[in-house]
Chain A
Amino acid sequence: MPGTTGLGPLPDTGKLQYNGVTWSALYKSKLDGKVVIDASQRITRYMQWELQVDGIVTLEQGLPNTDQTWAFIRKSLSVDGADLVYTGQGFGGLQVGPGQPTQDVAWGPIPEVLSFQPLGQARSAFIAWRCVVRIPELSTTPNTVVQFSYESALSYDEEGYATVSLRGTLEIALARAGLPGAANNRVVTQTVDKFRQLWLDIDFDLTKYKIVRREFPMTRDKRTCEWEYQATELAPFGLPLGHTGAHGTMSFRPIRPGGGQQGKLLAVPRWVCSMKCTYAVRSDFPRRMAQFAFLSLLWYRMWSSLNGSFPVGNQNDVNANANLRGLLRQPFKQAAAGVPVPALPNVPIGTAGALKFYQQLAANQKQVATALIPVIAINAAANPLAGVLTATAMLMDFGFDEGLYEDSKTVTFQAAWSFFSTFETVMQASGVWNYSQDVGGNVWSTSVKDIMGWRGPLAAQIDPSVEVLVDMGGGAPLSGPVIVAE
Chain B
Amino acid sequence: MAIRNPDDVDIQPQDGLGLPWFIPAGSGWLGRRDHVEILLDPGSALHKTLPQSDQPWDTLATQFVEGYGFVNPGAGQAGGAADADAVIASGGVNLNSQSTGYDTIQRMATSTYRFVLRGEAWRVGYQVPVPGLLSVGGQTAVPTFPQWSSGNVIVGNLPGQIPIFYCAWELHYIVAGPLKGSAPIVPNAAMRIRADQTLPDMVQVPFAPADANAGVSAGGAAGGGGPKLPFFKRRGK
Which residues of A are at the interface with B, using a C-beta cutoff of 8 A? 164, 166, 197-205, 208-209, 231, 236, 257-258, 262, 267-270, 283-288, 291-292, 295, 298-299, 302-307, 310, 312, 314-319, 321, 325, 328-329, 331-332, 335-336, 338-341, 343-345, 361-362, 364-370, 372-373, 376, 390-398, 419-420, 423-428, 431-435, 440, 453, 458
Shortest CB distance A100–B (Å)? 29
Stretch at the interface among B66-74, B82-90, B207-215: B207-215
In the bound complex, do residue B207 and residue A427 qualify as a contact, i.e. CB atoms below 8 Å apart? yes
A376 to B27, CA, bound (A): 16
In the bound complex, do residue B212 and residue A314 qualify as a contact, i.e. CB atoms below 8 Å apart? no
The one of B17, B191, B233 that contacts A366, using a Cβ cutoff of 8 Å:
B17
In the bound complex, do residue A423 and residue B194 qualify as a contact, i.e. CB atoms below 8 Å apart? no
The reply on B237 being an interface residue by CB < 8 A is yes
* Chain A residues within 8 Å of B198, by CB: 316-319
The one of A231, A321, A336, A367 that contacts B16, using a Cβ cutoff of 8 Å:
A367
In the bound complex, do residue A369 and residue B19 qualify as a contact, i.e. CB atoms below 8 Å apart? yes
In the bound complex, do residue A394 and residue B31 qualify as a contact, i.e. CB atoms below 8 Å apart? no
In the bound complex, do residue A201 and residue B27 qualify as a contact, i.e. CB atoms below 8 Å apart? no
Q: Which residue of B lies closest to A406 (CB)?
A: B2
Please judge, given known A-B contacts A202-B235, A339-B219, A420-B27, whether A267 and B18 are in contact too, CB under 8 Å: no
In the bound complex, do residue A202 and residue B212 qualify as a contact, i.e. CB atoms below 8 Å apart? no
In the bound complex, do residue A395 and residue B197 qualify as a contact, i.e. CB atoms below 8 Å apart? no
* Chain B residues within 8 Å of A208, by CB: 227, 231
Contacts A/B (CB < 8 Å), 24 sampled: A199-B236, A201-B236, A203-B235, A208-B227, A283-B4, A286-B6, A310-B192, A315-B192, A318-B198, A318-B200, A318-B204, A340-B219, A341-B210, A345-B209, A364-B11, A364-B15, A368-B16, A394-B23, A394-B125, A394-B162, A396-B158, A423-B206, A428-B207, A428-B209
Chain B 188-224 against A: per-residue CB contact (8 Å), 1 yes, 0 no? 0011111011101001111111111111101110000
In the bound complex, do residue A338 and residue B219 qualify as a contact, i.e. CB atoms below 8 Å apart? yes
Please judge, given known A-B contacts A205-B227, A209-B231, whether A298 and B19 are in contact too, CB under 8 Å: yes
Shortest CB distance B225–A (Å)? 12
Q: Which residue of A lies closest to B30 (CB)?
A: A257
Most-contacted residue by chain A among B159, B162, B210, B216 (CB, 10 A):
B210
Q: How large is the interface on B (under 10, 10 to 19, 20 to 34, 35 or more residues)?
A: 35 or more
In the bound complex, do residue A262 and residue B33 qualify as a contact, i.e. CB atoms below 8 Å apart? yes
Please judge, given known A-B contacts A202-B232, A283-B4, A341-B218, whether A427 and B23 are in contact too, CB under 8 Å: no
The one of B24, B192, B233 that contacts A202, using a Cβ cutoff of 8 Å:
B233
The reply on B13 being an interface residue by CB < 8 A is yes
In the bound complex, do residue B15 and residue A395 qualify as a contact, i.e. CB atoms below 8 Å apart? no
* Chain A residues within 8 Å of B162, by CB: 394
Please judge, given known A-B contacts A202-B232, A284-B4, whether A364 and B18 are in contact too, CB under 8 Å: no
In the bound complex, do residue B234 and residue A201 qualify as a contact, i.e. CB atoms below 8 Å apart? yes
In the bound complex, do residue B22 and residue A424 qualify as a contact, i.e. CB atoms below 8 Å apart? no
In the bound complex, do residue A303 and residue B20 qualify as a contact, i.e. CB atoms below 8 Å apart? yes
Please judge, given known A-B contacts A198-B237, A305-B22, whether A428 and B208 are in contact too, CB under 8 Å: yes
Q: Which residue of A lies closest to B22 (CB)?
A: A391
* Chain A residues within 8 Å of B30, by CB: 257-258
Please judge, given known A-B contacts A338-B219, A369-B20, A433-B211, whether A286 and B31 are in contact too, CB under 8 Å: no
A368 to B158, CA, bound (A): 17
A205 to B228, CA, bound (A): 10
